[in-house]
Chains A and B, each alone.
Chain A
Amino acid sequence: MATLAINARRCSLCGECIATCPFNAISEVDGKIEIDAGCRMCKLCLKNCPEKAITLIDDKRVAVDKEAWRGILVFVEHLDGEIHPVTLELIGKARELADSTNQPVYCLFMGDQIAEQAKSLLQYPVEKVFVYEDSALRYFRVDVYANIFEDCIRAVQPSTVLVGATSVGRSLAPRVAARFRTGLTADCTTLEIRENTDLVQIRPAFGGNVMAQIVTPFSRPQFATVRYKVMSPAEKGGSPSGTVERCVVSPVRLKSKIRVREVVLNEQSPGILEAETLVVAGRGVKDKQDLELLQELADLLDGQLAATRPLVEAGWVHYSKQIGLSGRTVKPKLIITCGVSGAVQFSAGISGSECIVAINQDRSAPILDQAHYGVVGDLYEVVPSLIDRIKG
């Protein structure tokens, strides 16, 4: 077990480690430095100790044989056969990562009566689509899906497994990753790969205040869930030699403890995820009624109205329209924010947008920095003038 040890003979009790520990896990007890359970192993104390009295005692970790694991496996998410678009984004990314490390791209597709859809995936640059077909796989049930996932991984031995960071993916992936006792990085927004096939995963952390770069250097396969609408979807064509491989489903693997009573489609107002143009209302909007002004602008631009969290919390706008870390990530062509300050938790959700226009009257608002076009002005004046202009 890795642990930090303090060499009492070297230690001068200068207190530098106590002061630097971001977690307040170090204290002086009876003339000795002690590290308690608050330690997160950030090793900052070790770097800062002027006496070099702190050392890391690290047992050798046995890394897996990385050569034995090859290929990038993409989980095909679908609802009753209809493939979720995040799947194509995963294939697109997988192809890129695979090409630079000379690996194949595989898809895992489990469901009921999905032969046609499986074949359709061959339009994209994938080497193989592994198909597990059974009526018991029609709807997502985490235990059965995890079993099949496990079977596939054991058979294919992929180096990397990519799953969409959707509701289904974020329930399934941790289950499978834990089964292989391997690492899973949640909700990645950037993926790169090293020559030795180590995946470099970047994700927002601490509520989007910082980005964290995470690797899984000792185990395989390495799992990542990837945010929807962040990567570009795969282009058609490219690998006409791809094949569909039907795999055996063994009945014991299909025994579920979970009984699906009913699956219903949620009521869908036209989604902000698909919209090419978005108008976002922030707290600069003073009154619920004033949303009509922004709705009018959205309508004129053939777009959708979205909002920041405070407006959703006030009950003015439905949660499905919330953009940001705890809302949706959007990737429209054009996004016009009105009275939005640009808190990191919000901007985490719009950074993939092609053109960001921000209207804010406060010159120092962070959003004016994040936008491609910062417009310093009162939304109650700028928006009506824009509407007038569009109407001609």
Chain B
Amino acid sequence: MRITGSKARGVILRIVVCIKQVPATSKVQIDEVTGVLRREGIESKLNPYDLYALETAVWIKDKVGGAVTTLTMGPLQAEEAIKESFILGADQGYLVSDRKLAGSDVLATAYTLSQAIRLLDGYDLIICGKQTTDGDTAQVGPEVAEFLEIPHVTWVKKVNEVTEDSIVVEQDLGTSSAILELPYPALITVEKDIFQPRLPSYRRKKLTAAQQVNVLTFSDFLDSDEQKYGLNGSPTQVERVFPPDANEDKVLWEDEPSLLGEKIYMLIKDRNFI
């Protein structure tokens, strides 16, 4: 890892981290009559993948100097996510919350976030989590980058270099890996395990308890074309949700272990698996 530009030389990177509050449980049920999701309770937590994004930002800030701003779009309760980010090292945070944003799909969410980012006092690096555990699309990051007309790299598993004007990262492409250099401003989405997220410290919790979350609403945005936000700005529509298929033609074997072994053997032999 090569770091150029130390705090002493005054490299101040402006880092934005996009975070989202997600349901704390993955146990969702479908209302058979209405086809609408029922969530048990409304317990929320920070999207676990975003912890890695935040940690990456704080790590870079500690190395080269900088300021970390967190950003989320959601209901007013999502303020909690920003407060949690203060404890984990963010310097300031913004919540975008407005009823006009209700029903946003990936495109509308990404556009809204890009509009919010344009309101910030400049940015060099934007970091997103790999994906969320509820939306689960991994698309918001790249779409934000497109709307801001900046380059992006997904699936970053390692930060190789951070300099005053660019960052070098290693991207995991499954069968291959690419080492890529990108100049600021740029956006990356990071893999789980890029850095081990720190645990919230009691000291920082006390220290940041009174820190305010900035709230942005629709009226703050430069682009006030309502067709680009919320339900109307969302080209995709969820028509219905339904439980995964049940298996109809199944066979159940209960027997002595040795007979079970025999049965499986006959099955795989009959069907030419050996």
Residues of A within 8 A of B (CB): 1-3, 22-25, 35-42, 44, 47, 58-59, 61, 79, 139-143, 146, 166-168, 170-175, 177-179, 181-187, 200, 204-219, 256-266, 268, 276-277, 300-302, 333-334, 336, 344-345, 347-348, 351, 355, 357, 359, 363, 368-378, 381-390
Contact = CB atoms under 8 A, between A and B. Distances in A.
A174 B179 contact: no
Nearest to B183: A257
Given A24-B42, A175-B145, A210 B103 contact: no
9 closest Cβ contacts across the A-B interface?
A: A385-B261, A41-B103, A38-B75, A183-B235, A381-B257, A183-B236, A1-B226, A178-B146, A174-B142
A217 B232 CA distance: 12
Nearest to B172: A167
B232 A389 contact: no
Contact of B273 (A23, A41, A301): A301
Of the four ranges (under 10, 10 to 19, 20 to 34, 35 or more), the interface on chain B belongs to 35 or more
Contacts of B257: 377-378, 381-382, 385
A378 B256 CA distance: 10
Given A22-B36, A22-B37, A79-B175, A368 B252 contact: yes
B34 A214 contact: no
Nearest to B42: A24
Contacts, number: 313
Given A167-B171, A263-B179, 8 more contacts: A1-B227, A37-B97, A171-B155, A213-B239, A264-B176, A373-B250, A377-B255, A383-B261
Contact of A213 (B105, B182, B240, B243): B240
A227 B237 CA distance: 20
Contact of A261 (B142, B180, B252): B180
Contacts of A167: 154-155, 171-174
A183 B232 contact: no
B232 A186 contact: no
Contact of A37 (B74, B152, B173, B258): B74
A47 B102 contact: no
Nearest to A25: B75
A25 B103 CA distance: 12
Given A178-B147, A259-B181, A375 B75 contact: no
B220 interface: no
Nearest to A369: B247
B142 to A, nearest CB: 4
Chain A residues touching B, majority SS? mixed
B260 interface: yes
B161 to A, nearest CB: 10
A263 B182 contact: no
B252 A376 contact: yes
Interface stretch (B57-65, B194-202, B264-272): B264-272
B180 A260 contact: yes
Contact of A183 (B107, B136, B140): B107
Give the one of B38, B100, B107, B229 with max A CB within 10 A.
B107
A178 B236 CA distance: 12
B242 A263 contact: no
Contact of A258 (B99, B137, B181, B232): B181
A213 B241 contact: yes
Interface string B94-123: 000111111101110010000000000000
B38 A22 contact: yes
A88 B232 CA distance: 35
Contact of A1 (B39, B107, B133, B231): B231
B32 interface: no
A184 B141 CA distance: 13
